[in-house]
Structure 1
Amino acid sequence: MAKKAKTEAEIAHFRESVCEAATRLFIERGPQNVTMRQIASEVGVSPMTPYRYFRDKDDILATVRAAAFNRFASALETAVASAPDARSKGRAVGDAYVGFAKSHPAAYQLIFSFSQPDEDRYPELQAANGRAQETMVGYVREMIEAGLLKGDAQLIGYMFWATLHGIVVLELASGLRGMDGDTLREKIMRTLYAGMQVTPPTLDS
């Protein structure tokens, strides 16, 4: 008797199990030190089974990174949408960014600690990456249109992004000894805003 084909729900569940197992291994060992055989063993299936659902290890890595990017972008988009005005968006994005990194360190590491030089092979990953980047620049564009900032939206967005990322990395590595991350963020943002000749929003505004 032929083996019964898996339902769409069963396939989705298995793919999710593979992605969860692979994520644990990627974080623990780094993608370059993980094999498909190890992923299969972690899931509890034969070495060839994952190949029925993913082309290879890079396909799995692209899938979990795309999911992480989308979760990250969703958190930022929610923050932007909830801000009452353009001035509040910078604070909202900063809070959401730091909150996501602290609440989902594995997802944050998947996004920023690993890369794939052949990203163009994975449209879903490209789209998720682009969505996150647009969110980090889009709110800046709104602030410029409101007259709160002056300059190139992409450049300013990446300046703020680099600041947030640096603070998060230091905090996660316990590198801010004797310094509060929120206080440091406000000081840096004030300096950046002052350089652009605008009144900075405070963290307690």
Structure 2
Amino acid sequence: MPRVLSDTDVADFRERLCEAAERLFAERGPDAVTMRQLAAELGVSPMTPYRYFEDKDDILAAVRANGFTRFAIALETARDGARGARAIGTAVGEAYVTFAVENPHAYKLMFDFNQPHAEKYPELVAAGQRAQKTMTGYIKDAMAEGLMEGDPEQIGLMNWAAIHGAVILELAGMLPPGGARMIFRGFDTALIRGLRPQD
């Protein structure tokens, strides 16, 4: 008779499976990874993962939602720990780069892969929206202090695209270690200067 799993058992196994999946998905691409390979990675029977997840897309959604949540928490913590719009902007950007270079597998899965039928995974959608919100929050801080003007959503996306591009170049080895951080610092200064209200 199979052992009855506690909520803790289920959570622990899901976490272990997601950790293995994050690495394998990022290294090989989700299409190249099978449920059998994930089971073998954890030393369990091929059918065991199906007790915890519906299928591979379900695992990918859980991995990506976890990544977006950790990412959002890192940015929110940076924003909450700084005082003044300039310091907040710097802290959030630095936290962004740090998260990406310290969690390259998660970062790649968050942004390099589409999620089939994303509407089936409300936790993933919510986590992605939370992460995006952090990229406009500190822009609004700067506007509230009169440091810049414009559409905060558009400026936030512009800033996000610039940081993301620099991070991807560094992760691909096309920038030296620390290159993304250097580019962020230059862009951050230029953004404030360029969007400062005109006298």
Q: Normalized against structure 1, the TM-score is what?
A: 0.89
Is the CA contact (8 Å cut-off) linking 2:90 and 2:185 kept in structure 1?
no
Distance of 1:116 and 1:179 partners within structure 2: 30
Distance of 1:23 and 1:125 partners within structure 2: 15
What does residue 13 of structure 2 align with? 14
Distance of 1:76 and 1:22 partners within structure 2: 24
Shift >4 Å, 4+ stretches? 177-180
Distance of 2:4 and 2:99 partners within structure 1: 38
Is the CA contact (8 Å cut-off) linking 2:163 and 2:180 kept in structure 1?
no
Post-superposition offset of 1:39: 1.2
What does residue 135 of structure 2 align with? 136
What does residue 115 of structure 2 align with? 116
Distance of 2:177 and 2:134 partners within structure 1: 32
What does residue 202 of structure 1 align with? none
Q: Call closer, same or farther: CA 1:173–1:4 in 2, change over 3 Å.
A: closer
Aligned length: 198
Distance of 2:57 and 2:80 partners within structure 1: 34
Q: Normalized against structure 2, the TM-score is what?
A: 0.91
Q: Percent same amino acid among aligned pairs?
A: 53
Q: Call closer, same or farther: CA 1:17–1:176 in 2, change over 3 Å.
A: closer
Three-state SS of the structure 1 residue aligned to 2:3 is: coil
Deviation sequence 1:142-193 (CA, Å, 0-9, x none) = 2112211100010000111111111111122221269944433333333333
Distance of 1:178 and 1:120 partners within structure 2: 37
Matched, 1:47 2:46: yes
Post-superposition offset of 1:54: 0.5
Distance of 2:51 and 2:176 partners within structure 1: 48
Three-state SS of the structure 1 residue aligned to 2:113 is: coil
Is the CA contact (8 Å cut-off) linking 2:147 and 2:197 kept in structure 1?
yes
Three-state SS of the structure 2 residue aligned to 1:3 is: coil
Structure 1 letter corresponding to 2:102: S
Distance of 1:29 and 1:174 partners within structure 2: 18
Q: Which runs of 5+ in 1 are unaligned?
A: 200-205
What does residue 88 of structure 1 align with? 87
Structure 1 letter corresponding to 2:35: M
Q: Call closer, same or farther: CA 1:66–1:89 in 2, change over 3 Å.
A: same
Deviation sequence 1:9-52 (CA, Å, 0-9, x none) = 11111112221221221012100111112211222222222111
Q: Call closer, same or farther: CA 1:39–1:136 in 2, change over 3 Å.
A: same
Is the CA contact (8 Å cut-off) linking 2:62 and 2:124 kept in structure 1?
yes
Q: Call closer, same or farther: CA 1:135–1:146 in 2, change over 3 Å.
A: same
Post-superposition offset of 1:198: 5.5
